[in-house]
Chains A and B, each alone.
Chain A
Amino acid sequence: MTRLRASHGRPAGPHRPAADGSGGLLDDLRSGTFALAQDAPPHQKGRVAALAAAAAPGHSLPTEDSAPRWEKVLWKPQPFPDNYVDHTFLQHLVVNDAVPRRRYWPVVLASTAVTQQMSCVVAAAAVPLHLQAGRTGPRQLLAACGVLLLLGYATCAVLGGQLLGGSLARGVRQCVLLVGGVYGLSPLLHSLTATVSSDSVVALAVGLAAAHLGLCDYSFVNSVTDKMTGALSLAAAVLAAVLVAGRMRTELETFAVVLLALELFLLSPFARRHVRRASVPAHLALTAVMAAAATALLFPASPAGAGAFAGSVLVVTLVCPAALVRGHVFKAKISGPWDEAAPHIPSELMPRRTGAGGAAAAAPEASRT
């Protein structure tokens, strides 16, 4: 056992395992590792060879010509103890590689998608309150829905250069199916939650709305991705709308509320995405209009709620991006040779129906980030 015998030989002297009672060293090393992970300037990408030095004080050998060189191999017996720490230790550690540095205003711009979604939720919540209080009737609401639908449709047609559904006939057919389907279902939806207490409905709806906001695919509206994902988020929103719609007095009101929710949560992201792609000022204006409209809708029902909404819009737009940008200082993403390789694999290779597709799908995603 050359390796073991060598523990009495030249390089072995100071290498006692530090686990044996030398708590001081242990703490120093721990804090050293920590300090390095945190002090490393986040924008400085590259190898942090200093960690090796910090982590292994006094373990680097004097480089004599006669001294055998340690090699990072396992196949060769080397005259070093098994716990030897070379100065090349952690040489290939990289901190914050490929982590983009965020700036404030782009993050503010991106946060508008959240504001829009919040406005949608508040609007969808405020309208049933108005209906219930009798401040508006189902017919006005249906008219508003029609106007919104036409506006959104025109936006997509003009800005996107394409008709929703491919052609005018198909678009109309889809609209008819959607509206007719909801209309046909409205008697059922109306009585669906009749046996459930209003408290439960409100609590569930609030929880579902929060889930919707948490799981929503904001990247789609911001044109980062091309496909709307987040079926769970959409399902939560629709379920919340159905629950609330069941509390309405007439079936027509139920129909109108569900239709509005579908337009806001299912269709509006497509129109908003086209606006965002076409022009940033228009997107900002749209966001402002939506936030103002939602506040105005909520104000008669609950002035305090409207105030809270306006406040949260300000927080989301101004404070949260600042916190995100500042929090970047603390980011320490560690990568090195132990990381799983993420080769580029074309998506057509992914098996369509196997469960393993998930893991494979994660790979290109990881390489993108």
Chain B
Amino acid sequence: MATAARQHRVVMVSDFFYPNFGGVENHIYQLSQCLIHQGHKVVVVTHAYGDCLGVRYLTNGLKVYYLPRLPFYQQSSFPSLLGWARLLRAICMRERATLLHGHQAFSTLALEACIHASSLGLKVVFTDHSLFGFADAGSILLNKVLKAVLGADVHGVICVSHTSKENTVLRACLPPAAVAVIPNAVDTSQFTPDLSMGALPWPRDPEAEEVVLVVLCRLVYRKGIDLLSLVLPAVCERHPHVRVLVGGDGPKRQLLEKVIADHGLQSRVLLEGAVPHERARDFMVRGHVFVNASLTEAFCMALVEAAAAGLVVVSTAVGGVPEVLPPDMIVLTDPSAEGLLEGIERAIQRVPHQRPLEQHLRVRQMYDWNDVACRTAAVYDRVAASCRDDSVPARLGRYLAAGRWVGALFGVVALMSVLLLRLAQWWQPASAIDVAPDWPARHSQATCGGGGGGGTGAPNNMQEATPDVQRMRSGKQAAGKGAVQEGWQAPGGTAKRV
């Protein structure tokens, strides 16, 4: 077992990172923290979010490059193919990177970085976080791009669930054994059941005492809000002691408001609006049953969070959801109104038998970011040992295997990327690029042998597992805690804008 025997110097690239919120952002942050904890070097590259531009440091010296790229659709940056190859080269040189890890299939930044990293001679790992269909025009286009990039440039692919792996293997025509399944995890120390004195009483008889259902997701079509709006009136009618808390915001909020007004449920269904992630646990423990009505989901982190917080979980059985929790912790339903209604009723029946603390301890054994980081590092080890022929002709051959037209297009892009980087090499040789000093290692390096989660200590940032987004947004820096701009770094004159 190569336990951190080899230090990897990883550049994580994705369009999605804090201050934006979501599963991918959380995954990158937690994975980076745990990798740093294990003694690897990690920097994150993403595009600028408003004022959040330039270089920032997060907890434990996780350096984040916010590149001046323009997001154009759902925070994906505008595809420029060659636009930032030189910038990426400078970053990789400065950080002496050995490996590039792209995240999320529809992050243009990540896909472009994979091409350029391959031209730079780095090893490339790619994590796909989502499920896609095969039929609509957007999916067909994206699948072609994936086929070319994942087939030709990427050395190792990671998916977050087995269903996601099946999907990615089909979309990118990869050999199944080249794709590893490493699930997301949840910082279970943040999602604990509420055991304080003022906690919500846990009902013994769901027909006589109050039961609170909790919904927490973006209010969009894909999260099944339409289904929910069909089911909620029926649930409220059949169970007079049920109340519903809905957290989150989005275009479907009006629909819920209309349904609540039509059925006179104002006193029983509460729309709480957006709930920031750091308050998610406090929101969840106000209820007994967590309801997820998603229509598609690669790996639903919210389910694990709710289970860790001790709630009874009910979800539509879509995508990777059935893999996430053992059957005694989750009620799986058909993605239909009748199915969801029946599932919610079963979950309400389960409420008196629920043991929140017991469930929390079990979930703690199941998911741990350190475990995820170890398994990811194992993929890095394998990739670093790979001796695939990455010469230009071999790459071009692999591109052509993805299809005649798309292969030719990406072959041209790769050729131009190689030429551009050669030019950059001549223009700005490696010796002319400042090397950024590494953040001093403060921890003894964690080992990976710790016996499946729980045992190994998570990084010491429990109180601050998500960076202070408010401060990042406002652009003010405070030393010591969250974001520190590079200029504040004391040792070495490396405060140069890249």
Chain A contacts to B: CB under 8 angstroms: 1-5, 7-8, 15-21, 25-27, 29-30, 33-34, 55-56, 59, 72-77, 81-83, 85, 89-90, 93, 333-346, 349, 351, 354-356, 359-360, 363
CB pair A5–B379 under 8 Å, yes or no, is: no
B83 at interface by CB-CB < 8 Å: no
| A interface SS class | loop
B178 near A: Cβ within 8 Å?
yes
Other A-B pairs, 16, CB within 8 Å; known A17-B382, A82-B181, A340-B296: A4-B375, A15-B177, A17-B177, A25-B175, A33-B170, A55-B176, A74-B181, A75-B323, A85-B176, A333-B135, A336-B166, A336-B170, A341-B335, A343-B336, A345-B226, A349-B226
Q: Decide: A19 and B156 in contact? CB cutoff 8 A.
A: yes
In angstroms, how far is the closest chain A Cβ from the Cβ of B262? 10
B392 interface contact, C-beta 8 A: no
| Residues on the B chain within 8 Å of A354, using CB | 251, 254-255
Within the complex, which residue of A3, A341, A346, A360 is in contact with B296, where a contact is CB–CB below 8 Å?
A341
Q: Are A341 and B178 in touch, CB under 8 angstroms? A: no
- Asked whether B112 is an interface residue with its Cβ less than 8 Å from the other chain, the reply is no
Contact of B180 among A1, A33, A82 (CB under 8 A): A82
Question: What separation, in Å, do the CA atoms of A21 and B166 have in the docked complex?
Answer: 22
Picked from B173, B178, B323, B337, the residue with its CB within 8 Å of the CB of A18 is B178
Query: What are the residues of chain A within 8 A of B320 when measuring CB–CB?
Result: 74
**In the bound complex, do residue B176 and residue A82 qualify as a contact, i.e. CB atoms below 8 Å apart?**
no
CB contacts (< 8 Å) of B388 on chain A: these are 19-21
A21 touches B175 (CB 8 A): no
In the complex, the answer to whether B401 meets A27 with C-beta atoms within 8 Å is yes
A8, A82, A336, A354, most chain B CB atoms within 10 A: A82
Residues in B whose Cβ lies below 8 Å from that of A30: 173, 175, 401
B residues 159-214 in Cβ contact with A at 8 Å = 161-164, 166-167, 169-170, 173-183
Q: A19-B155, A21-B389, A83-B180 are in contact. Are A349 and B221 (CB under 8 A)?
A: no
Bound form: Cα–Cα A4–B380 in Å: 13
Whether the Cβ atoms of A77 and B452 lie closer than 8 Å is yes
State which of B24-32, B44-52, B59-67, B443-451 sits at the interface with chain A: B443-451
Min Cβ gap A324→B in Å is: 18
The distance from the CB of A344 to the nearest CB of chain B, in whole angstroms, is 7
Is there an interface contact between B387 and A1, defined as CB atoms closer than 8 Å?
no
Of A33, A333, A345, the residue contacting B173 (CB under 8 A) is: A33
Decide if B353 is an interface residue (CB 8 Å cutoff): no
A55 and B169 form a contact (CB under 8 A): yes
Smallest CB gap from B370: residue in A: A1
List B462-493 residues whose CB lies under 8 Å from chain A.
none
A234 to B144, CA, bound (A): 35
Instruction: Chain A residues near B326: list those with CB within 8 A.
Output: 73, 75-76
Q: Which residues of A contact B166 (CB under 8 A)?
A: 89-90, 93, 336-338
**Distance between Cα atoms of A341 and B334 in the complex (Å):** 9
A4 and B374 in contact, given A338-B167, A349-B255, A360-B221 (Cβ under 8 angstroms): yes
Q: Are A34 and B375 in contact (CB under 8 A)?
A: no
Q: Is B407 an interface residue (CB 8 A)?
A: no
**CB-CB under 8 A for A5 and B175, given A21-B387, A82-B181, A340-B133:** no
Cβ of B176 and Cβ of A56 under 8 Å apart? yes
CA distance A335 to B136 in the complex (A): 13
> What 8 pairs between A and B have smallest CB-CB spacing?
A341-B335, A356-B251, A82-B180, A338-B167, A18-B175, A19-B178, A338-B131, A74-B183
Contacting residues, chain B, for A351 (C-beta < 8 A)? 252, 254-255, 258
Which of B178, B252, B448 has the largest count of A CB atoms less than 10 A from its CB? B178
A342: which B residues are within 8 A, CB to CB? 295
Contact status B452-A74, CB under 8 Å: no
Closest chain B residue to A71 by CB distance? B323
Interface residues of B in 417-437 (CB under 8 A from A): none
* Residues of B contacting A333 in the complex (Cβ-Cβ under 8 angstroms): 134-135
Q: Which residues of B contact A72 (CB under 8 A)?
A: 162, 322-323
B133 touches A4 (CB 8 A): no
- Chain B min CB distance to A241 (Å): 31
Instruction: Tell me the bound Cα distance from A277 to B52 in angstroms.
Output: 63
Cross-chain contact B319 with A83 (CB below 8 angstroms): no
Q: Which residue of A lies closest to B378 (CB)?
A: A4
Do B378 and A18 touch across chains, with their CB atoms under 8 A apart? no
Cα A341 to Cα B335 in complex, Å, equals 6
A89–B449 Cα distance when bound, in Å, is 29
- Residues of B within 8 Å of A90, CB to CB, are 166, 169-170
Does B227 lie within 8 Å of A343, measured CB to CB? yes
Q: Which residues of B contact A59 (CB under 8 A)?
A: 176-177
Residue B106 CB within 8 A of the other chain: no
B324 interface residue per 8 A CB criterion = yes
Q: How far is the CA of A363 from the CA of B252 in the complex (A)?
A: 14
Q: Which residues of B contact A339 (CB under 8 A)?
A: 131, 133, 296
| Least CB separation from A344: chain B residue | B336
Contact yes or no, B375 A3, CB < 8 A? yes
Question: What CA separation (Å) do A77 and B365 show in the bound complex?
Answer: 10
Q: State A336–B324 Cα separation when bound (angstroms).
A: 18
| Residue in A19, A85, A343, A363 whose beta carbon sits within 8 Å of that of B386 in the complex | A19
Task: Compute how far the CA of A341 lies from the CA of B317 in the bound complex, rounded to whole angstroms.
Answer: 9
Point out the residues of chain A lying under 8 angstroms from B299, CB to CB: 74
Q: Flag whether B275 is at the interface (Cβ < 8 A).
A: no
- Report chain B residues within 8 Å CB of A341: 224, 295-296, 316, 318, 335
Which residues of A are found within 8 Å of B252, using beta-carbon distances? 351, 356
Counting chain B CB atoms within 10 Å of each CB, the highest count among A21, A74, A343, A354 belongs to: A74
Report which of B156, B221, B323, B389 forms a contact with A74, defined as CB distance below 8 A. B323
Q: Do A56 and B1 contact each other (CB < 8 Å), given the known contacts A338-B163, A343-B295?
A: no
Question: With contacts A19-B155, A75-B366, A359-B221 known, is A1 near B176, CB below 8 A?
Answer: no
Supposing A3-B375, A340-B296 touch, asked if A20 and B177 sit within 8 A by C-beta, the answer is no
State in angstroms the CA–CA spacing of A360 and B451 once bound together: 46
| Chain B CB within 10 A, most for which of A30, A83, A85, A342 | A83
A74 touches B164 (CB 8 A): no
Give chain B nearest CB distance to A91 CB in angstroms. 9
Q: Which residues 262-320 of B have a CB within 8 angstroms of A?
A: 295-296, 298-299, 316, 318-320
A369 and chain B: residue at smallest CB distance:
B135
Complex-state Cα separation, A76 to B177, whole angstroms: 20
Which residue of chain A is the closest to B130 with respect to CB atoms? A338
CA distance A21 to B316 in the complex (A): 41
Q: Tell me, in angstroms, the Cα distance from A341 to B387 when the chains sit together.
A: 41
Closest to B252 in A: A356
Identify which of A34, A75, A337 contacts B325 (C-beta below 8 A): A75
> Which residues of chain A come closer than 8 Å to B449, judged between CB atoms?
1, 5
Tell me whether A1 and B254 are in contact (CB under 8 A): no
Bound complex: CA A33 to CA B147 (Å): 13
> What separation, in Å, do the CA atoms of A346 and B255 have in the docked complex?
13
Are B170 and A343 in contact, CB atoms less than 8 angstroms apart? no
Q: Judging by beta carbons under 8 Å apart, are A343 and B163 in contact?
A: no
**Contact A20/B387 with A4-B374, A74-B181, A351-B255 known, Cβ cut-off 8 Å:** yes
Q: Does B415 contact A (CB under 8 A)?
A: no
Q: Are A1 and B371 in contact (CB under 8 A)?
A: yes
| Closest A residue, CB atoms, query B185 | A74
Question: Which B residues lie within 8 Å of A340 (CB)?
Answer: 131, 133, 222, 295-296, 318
Check: B406 CB closer than 8 A to any chain A CB.
Answer: no
Are the C-beta atoms of B175 and A2 separated by less than 8 Å?
Answer: no
Minimum CB–CB distance from B193 to chain A (whole Å) comes to 18
Does B230 have its Cβ within 8 Å of any Cβ on chain A? Answer: yes
